[in-house]
Each structure stands twice: as C-alpha cells, then as structure tokens.
Chains A and B, each alone.
Chain A
C-alpha cells in the first residue's frame, strides 16, 4: 500500500511538494523583511495563506475517504498528495512564522500542526514496516482463519476432556482464553487468559502455561493408558493453541499499531483547525 501511495503516478505529488517547498525556500532566502522574517510581511502572509489552505485541504482527505461515489480523483491519489503536501506544510508553516515562537495561540497552532504531521510520519513508518511483518506472522492465513483454527482446537479439547474426565479445567481454560480486548490489551499483545484452579479460584493462564502444567500433572498421575492418550492429545492441542494465540495476538497488535496513530492524528488535526481559526481571526483583530 505504501509503495502505491509513494509512487502514485510516477510520484507526481512528490514533485509538486518539492517544487512548492523549493519555491517557498527560495522566496524566503531572497526576502528582505524590515526585521527578521515573520508572518506579517508580504511573504509571511503569502506563506500563511498557502499553509492555511493546505491544512484545510489536507483535512478534507477524511471527507473524501468517506465519499465513495466521489469522482474527485482516487483516494490513493489523494492520500499520496496528503502525505507529500503534508510534509511540505511543515516547511511552509515554519518559513511563515520565521522561527518565531512564544507562549501564545500562534505557537500552539504550530505545535499542534507539528504533532499532527509527526503522527502522520509515524503512520507512514507503520505502513512501511508492519504490513510485511503482518503477512509473515499470519503465514498465509487470515485472522478469521486463525481464530477458526483456534475454535476447532477448542472443540477437540472439550471433546477429549470429557472422555478424560478433565472437563472442569479444560473448559475453564477454553472459556478463560483471551483474544484481543481493550485497546491496551490489543496493543500490549500479552496473553491475559485465565482459568479456574482446583479451588474454583481464577488464576492466570498466560501462554496457556497453567493448563499445560495441569495436564502434565494429570498425565504423570494417570494409570490408564487410554486416558493418558487423551491427555497427551489435549497437551498437543493446547501447545498448538499456544502458538496460534501468539500469532493472533501479534496480528491484533500490528493491526492496532496501524490504526493507533490515527487516534492522535485526527483529533489533533481538529485541534489544529480550531487553533488555526483563532490564529487567523486574532492576528487581524489585533492587527
């Protein structure tokens, strides 16, 4: 996906953004303001206008994405332009303010803008790094497929457990198996599974270790060869489940990372839009 965004139509928007940045930088270099460069010179107003229009346009990506029937260019093209022009915005806004910062609404707008762009950079990084890791981790399966496999294992386990008279612990372990969960659990990718112990108390079954050790204990005490076989089956199934669960957790974590930055990117960009509105109004209110 990243490659298609980066190279969209021979990296058309890379060159647009580069040209825009180069023209801005050249104008800034040649500009001779009365004092040091700032937003109040003719170049300052020009760069400010370009920057403000860019911010509004960059935010319209969210609208374009939701409008499936739009014929205003492909989402892929919009995203490509979003990435490159968003990067150019960092330079344009910096030149606009002439690196003058303070404890004020104007610098707040700048800080929010940088935060939005930085979270966007993380998004690009995530889209470069994680899709491959995700594919390798799932080894050709889908998440739904992996979970289906888990369900089949669970079914087998429950069936074997009945025959081995170990339904109590096995069903408890199956029921207490944790997949996904809160945003924290998803991103943490830690196994939060639990089960009931002999006294009916909930204990951790992280990485299915508790159930495996319980089954191993029962196996060592088993005198019946048929039951021992069933317990061995259960052990093998839980070991397989252990591996599968690790993959599922990792998959959920990667999906989470690929989305998590947007929970910063989008709200911060609305904060930026508010700060931008305040910035524009007050610089002319106190002209």
Chain B
C-alpha cells in the first residue's frame, strides 16, 4: 500500500512530462538544414549524384526553385536541371549561357555607332526574368522602353531622329511630358529617271500629310463604288479583300500585282476588232514590237485579201523560181503602213488609254529605245510601319474602313495609313483606368530588331553574325533598304 503522495511527487506541470522543446527543435533545425541544403549541395558535386537525387523522393536542388520555369524553357534539357543555366554557384546567369541556344537574338541598336552604357551593361536576365509570376519570360512593361526612350539625351544618345516618349494613350500626367508622337511611315520614294529609278525609304510623320509616290494612278473611290464597276463580265462590286489579302503570317498584306489583282478587268486589249489579242504587261519595247507584228500581219492579210492558201505557203517555202518575182510585185504598196498603224495605236494606249489608265508615262526621243514611250516604274510600299509589330489577323473583327479611309480616296498618292488617334480609339496605356485595351510598348514594338547585329560580346558576336547571315539568306533580303528598279 503506497503512502499518499506529496505534491512534488505528482506530475502537475508539462515540464515534468516527457514533452520537450529541445529535441524537436534540434530535430527540425538539423533535419531541414540537412535535407534541404547540405544533401542537395553535396549532390551537385557529381552530375550522376545530382540526377539520382532529383529523381528520388528526397528534396534536391529542385526544392530551391523560386517559381515555375516559363513555358518556353520547360524543355527536357532545362527542366529540373537547375545547373543547366545556373552554371556556377553564387553567380548570376551569364549571357553566354543564354546565347548557347539564343544565338540568333539581335541587338536593339547599332552597337558600332552607338554606345549606350545602360544597355551594354545589361544582361539577358536583366530583362528576361525567369521563375516569375506570371510565367512570362518576355518583359511586357513600358519601363523596358521608357527607361531610355523618355529622354534619349540623358540615356546617352546625343544625336538621334528618335523622339522622346514616356507614355501612351490617355495616361498623360504631370510627370509624363512626352506622349507617343504621331506615327511615322516608311514610304518608298523614287529618285532618278524613269529608266534608272532608285527607290529610297523615306520616314515621314503622318501628321505631315505625306503623299505616296508610287507612280501608280489608282482611285480607290472609283473601285469601291457601292454600285459596282464595269467589268468584262458585267457590273462587279469590289470589296477591299477583292485585292488586299493577308500574307501567310496574317500580319501584313500580300503585295498587289497586275496579274492577280488588275488584269481581270484591265485587259490589255488594243484593238476592238481583235478582242482576243493583248499587248504584254511589261517592257514598252515589247509592247511596241507586239503591235508592229500584229499590224504587219493585218496589212499582209488586207493586201492579199484573204489568208494565204496552203499551196502558196508551201510554194514560198519551196522558193519556186519565178513565183518570187510575182510575190515581190505584191509588196510594191506602201510597206510602212503597218508601222504607222502600230504607232498610232501605241500612242493611243501609252498616252491615253490602256497603260495610261494606271501608269505615269513619258516620252524619250533619244532613240535609245525601240519605244519612245516609257512607263515610269511602280513600286508599292508593302510595309508602311516596319518598326511596329501590327497584326491584321488580330484586328479582323473590324472593318477595313475603320482604319483605312479608302472610299473617299480619289488618288493613289493618298497615304491611307491610320495615325495614332485611330489606335487610341481602342488602345490605351497600361496604367490608365479607361475602358480600353491596356497596351504596353511591346504590344506594337519589338526590342530585338531583325536588322541589327547579334547580341553578345565581340567574340560570340562574330560567330553569331555568321549564323545570322545564313538565316537571312534563307529568309530573303530585308525590305527596308534602298533598292534599284530597272525597266
């Protein structure tokens, strides 16, 4: 029989039980430190060990991930292999590591003529933030551009045609002094003669009401007449997309050309009595030759009064003596008349009808060419805004006329590109509270420009430039440089 216990013999406090703060503290401290730091660190000394740990249920260096990889980087080579990019411990990811795959990434400006320290000292990862939320490896914020472009002089670009810009849409505040300027278009401009025309790209602001100088004569309003236009098969109502079709990428429009877009209606017929005969669309000399040849034949037929019989043709081929004298007698008439006819028709089509409907023509009496009538070459601008990344496909729910006021245009010199207010009807800056689509700079502009050298230091740049040349050769020449057109 036990004696009654004294209070000290009772366990009346948790301190007297087997509960402990000390050993669970040690267990958690050492456990977490070992499992999440020491073991993963040790595993990184050996690739096989690292791989085994990553594929085991134990925490590996994968547990250090601070956010998911962005979707483009979720590829087998990179997924889970942290050290594929994080090559050295306690060192930020180096550009060379990025350029191992992204060799074809171009610079933002010409590094040979500009020295912008702010950009030169930037790393790929300064802008391309990985493991972020949202999972977006390409920067979308305005600060990417505005940090430099709000004040180019301060940025270190003393002489530039670029206008300072720090805001878009109705986000102008007292601190925002440089709203997005009026759009500039890159318009082709001919210089030189009709036979040796040099096409230069002219940058001109839409607010300065530029005139296109394509040498084309074309009234949009006539073609878009709601009642239709006269076509060979009768009245035909044209829509914008009767001629203007998206390119394969859906961004720009396919180039306009005579064969696909005009020749259905604008047949090259030159004689009402010969509706099946056409002059060729092209070199004026060939046009003139075609006319001469056609009217020479007509002359012969008229003189003979009929088609030659097959016997007569055979006799000619056999060159029977005596017969040739008879034939020559037939030619005593005015042999110049076919030329006369051909010239009068040529004058008609070059100066008043067929050619003149669409082309500017001129006269060259130098005798250098068979045809004194010359046709000024036409070059239509295909990419008016090469510095923007506009996508027609994503705007397909809108009528063409909501941006391009073609129905009121009666001359081909009208530039039908919309200016900034047109875009601002729907788009606005990213930090406004309007009921419009918030749009940042990269919504329309690219950072890495196709016409610049590859990103990277001089050594890699040389190598990469070579890669890029191969790429450019494959994809065709760039369309913003000066080109020369020969008749």
Contact = CB atoms under 8 A, between A and B. Distances in A.
Contacts of A286: 61, 64, 82, 86, 89
B14 A270 contact: no
Contacts of B59: 105
B132 interface: yes
B352 to A, nearest CB: 64
Interface in B1-28: 1-7, 10-21, 24-28
A174 to B, nearest CB: 6
A223 interface: no
A155 interface: yes
B76 interface: no
Interface string A142-158: 01100110010011001
Contact of A267 (B28, B68, B144): B28
B1 A172 contact: yes
Nearest to A174: B4
Given A35-B136, A273-B29, A259 B15 contact: yes
B36 to A, nearest CB: 5
Contacts of B63: 103-105
Contact of A186 (B12, B37, B93, B144): B12
Contacts of A105: 36, 59, 63-64
Contacts of B15: 259
Interface stretch (A78-86, A122-130, A175-183, A228-236): A175-183
A121 B15 CA distance: 21
Contacts of B93: 287
Interface string B99-139: 00000000000000000000000000001010011101001
A138 interface: no
A77 interface: no
Contact of A35 (B1, B7, B65, B133): B133
Contacts of B64: 104-105, 282-283, 285-286
Contacts of A180: 10-13, 16
The size bracket of the interface on A is: 35 or more
Question: Which bracket fits the contact residues of B?
Answer: 35 or more
A183 B15 CA distance: 9
A256 B4 CA distance: 24
A154 B4 contact: yes
Contacts of A287: 86, 90-93
Given A144-B7, A270-B26, A34 B37 contact: no
B334 interface: no
Interface of B: 1-7, 10-21, 24-33, 36-37, 41, 59, 61, 63-68, 82, 86, 89-93, 127, 129, 132-134, 136, 139, 141, 143-144
* Shortest 6 CB-CB contacts between residues of A and residues of B: A271-B28, A267-B24, A274-B32, A270-B25, A180-B12, A282-B64
Given A186-B11, A262-B21, 4 more contacts: A38-B132, A183-B17, A260-B14, A287-B93
21 contacts: A38-B66, A143-B12, A171-B1, A174-B4, A175-B1, A179-B5, A182-B11, A182-B17, A255-B12, A255-B13, A266-B21, A266-B25, A270-B26, A271-B29, A274-B30, A274-B32, A277-B33, A277-B37, A285-B89, A286-B61, A287-B90
